[in-house]
Amino acid sequence: MSSTAGQVISCKAAVAWEAGKPLVIEEVEVAPPQAMEVRLKILFTSLCHTDVYFWEAKGQTPMFPRIFGHEAGGIVESVGEGVTDLEPGDHVLPVFTGECKECRHCKSEESNMCDLLRINTDRGVMLNDGKSRFSVRGQPIYHFVGTSTFSEYTVVHAGCVAKINPAAPLDIVCVLSCGISTGLGATLNVAKPEKGSSVAIFGLGAVGLAAAEGARIAGASRIIGVDLNSNRFEEAKKFGVTEFVNPKDYDKPVQEVIAEMTDGGVDRSVECTGSINAMISAFECVHDGWGVAVLVGVPNKDDSFKTHPINFLNEKTLKGTFFGNYKPRSDLPSVVEKYMNKELELEKFITHEVPFSEINKAFEYMLSGAGLRCLIRMDA
Ligand SMILES: NC(=O)c1ccc[n+]([C@@H]2O[C@H](COP(=O)([O-])OP(=O)(O)OC[C@H]3O[C@@H](n4cnc5c(N)ncnc54)[C@H](O)[C@@H]3O)[C@@H](O)[C@H]2O)c1
Ligand SMILES: [Zn+2]
Ligand SMILES: [Zn+2]
């Protein structure tokens, strides 16, 4: 039992007081975990585009003040009542979507959409009592997707925590807590390209390049990267991307460009942009008869997907996924092992690093399209 168990912990957290305004490092009070919750000491976190969307709150439901962050690695500090499979000292990755292991989804091999703990971007409180575990000078601060990792300590539901090999370096495997597992799983678990097939990847950020990595592992022979930012192309070669298309270079829709390049369309496509136009193009660019498109990007609240139904009649398939269809507790430890066995390279996704005190720089890098993942060190 740690000396802080059962006590309120005062620590530093980066609080978003207002949409789009720089985060402010504040002294926060973090309440002890309640039943089925755990309190984590976060050691490393990184920024994913989903944090940025909800912080900007353009086309998303605004909820402030809030502590963002959902891609992280840490150590269990203390556990609440009823938690039996985690203990202080365990190395863990928190995940924005959970696994209760009891509902129909958790029992289904096909789904990771747990009834109890699936992602909910509109909830800013804990399930147990509908309250926040964070406060600043007595004012409650909202949680984000049940993780809120931009804090030295955070409280999460035990079902949203994957216990991993303690030998795995948390400053590297933390990127598996969201983006990289999502992209990899979107290809390997959902798109499932066959050996020798063609795959288009829309959006060459960390999620898209992880999807490209999945296509390379699956033995795809053509991996076509699509991005509006041409600076992405050089980096993408390291991830097995063989050809590039910038939609801005053409005066016709990118799906037509891809159809011409591939004799009618790609076998698979994975969309990792969050742009509704890219989602539609990603669907329409797959080959009729067998093509499968997988949506991963988080859309705006009011977006709607429009395509001609003949595309479906022509036997194109549209799918989508959260977290690459991985069940966080059951599957994530083995993804970490893929890194440990050198089947999966993660270092190349981490292009920047900042101390926690400079977390706003990570937002600047993402907004300017510089690099892939920015590691944020909590102890620095
Ligand atoms: N479904 C999930 O479980 C899940 C998990 C993590 C992230 N996401 C989402 O995945 C997406 C990618 O995340 P990321 O962290 O890699 O972001 P990122 O900002 O690093 O990368 C996104 C890339 O998409 C490109 N892009 C934007 N609009 C485009 C368009 N119309 N056509 C082509 N390229 C375009 C950008 O230039 C950028 O390079 C985001 O929408 C994020 O919210 C979803
Ligand atoms: Zn994410
Ligand atoms: Zn469940």
- Residue of 45, 46, 47, 50 to test ligand 1 pocket, by largest number of atoms within 8 Å of CB: 50
- Does a structural domain hold residue 272? yes
298 in contact with ligand 1, CB cutoff 6 A: yes
pLDDT tens for each residue of 135-155: 999 999 999 999 999 999 999
Q: How far apart are CA 124 and CA 147, in angstroms?
A: 10
CATH number for the domain harbouring residue 92: 3.90.180.10
Q: How many domains does the chain have?
A: 2
202 in contact with ligand 1, CB cutoff 6 A: yes
Q: Are residues 255 and 305 in the same domain?
A: yes
Q: Are residues 141 and 45 in the same domain?
A: yes
Is 243:225 a contact under the CB 8 Å cutoff? Answer: yes
- Does a structural domain hold residue 1? no
- Does a structural domain hold residue 283? yes
- Does a structural domain hold residue 129? yes
Q: Are residues 233 and 197 in the same domain?
A: yes
Residue-level pLDDT, tens digit, the chain, 380 residues: 578 999 999 999 999 999 999 999 999 999 999 999 999 999 999 999 999 999 999 989 999 999 999 999 999 999 999 999 999 999 999 999 999 999 999 999 999 999 999 999 999 999 999 999 999 999 999 999 999 999 999 999 999 999 999 999 999 999 999 999 999 999 999 999 999 999 999 999 999 999 999 999 999 999 999 999 999 999 999 999 999 999 999 999 999 999 999 999 999 999 999 999 999 999 999 999 999 999 999 999 999 999 999 999 999 999 999 999 999 999 999 999 999 999 999 999 999 999 999 999 999 999 999 999 999 999 97
- Strands (DSSP E) contained in the chain are 9-15, 24-30, 37-46, 71-79, 91-94, 134-136, 139-141, 153-157, 161-163, 198-202, 222-226, 243-245, 268-271, 292-295, 317-320, 350-355, 373-377
- Does a structural domain hold residue 173? yes
DSSP string, 188-232: IIII-PPTT-EEEEE--SHHHHHHHHHHHHTT-SEEEEE-S-TTH
Q: Are residues 155 and 190 in the same domain?
A: no
Q: Are residues 238 and 254 in the same domain?
A: yes
Q: Are residues 161 and 122 in the same domain?
A: yes
pLDDT score at 312: 98
- Does a structural domain hold residue 3? no
Q: Are residues 161 and 193 in the same domain?
A: no
50 in contact with ligand 1, CB cutoff 6 A: yes
Centre of ligand 1 from the C-alpha of residue 277, in Å = 12
Q: Are residues 14 and 162 in the same domain?
A: yes
Q: Are residues 167 and 197 in the same domain?
A: no
Q: Which ligand 1 atom is at minimum distance from the Cα of 229?
A: 37
Residue minimizing CA distance to atom 33 of ligand 1: 227
CATH number for the domain harbouring residue 248: 3.40.50.720
Q: How far apart are CA 113 and CA 143, in angstroms?
A: 20
278 in contact with ligand 1, CB cutoff 6 A: yes
Q: Which ligand minimizes its atom distance to the CA of 372? A: 1
Q: Residue 257, Cβ neighbours under 10 Å: how many? A: 19
Residues with CB under 5 A from ligand 3 (ion): 100, 103, 106, 114
Q: Are residues 17 and 125 in the same domain?
A: yes
- Does a structural domain hold residue 336? no
- Strands (DSSP E) contained in 278-349 are 292-295, 317-320
Alpha carbon of residue 368 to chain centroid: 19
- Does a structural domain hold residue 40? yes
Q: Are residues 112 and 220 in the same domain?
A: no
Q: Are residues 165 and 293 in the same domain?
A: no
Is 168:339 a contact under the CB 8 Å cutoff? Answer: yes
Domain holding 125, by residue range, is 9-177+346-377
232 in contact with ligand 1, CB cutoff 6 A: yes
CA distances, 375 to each of 213, 316, 355 (Å): 20, 38, 8
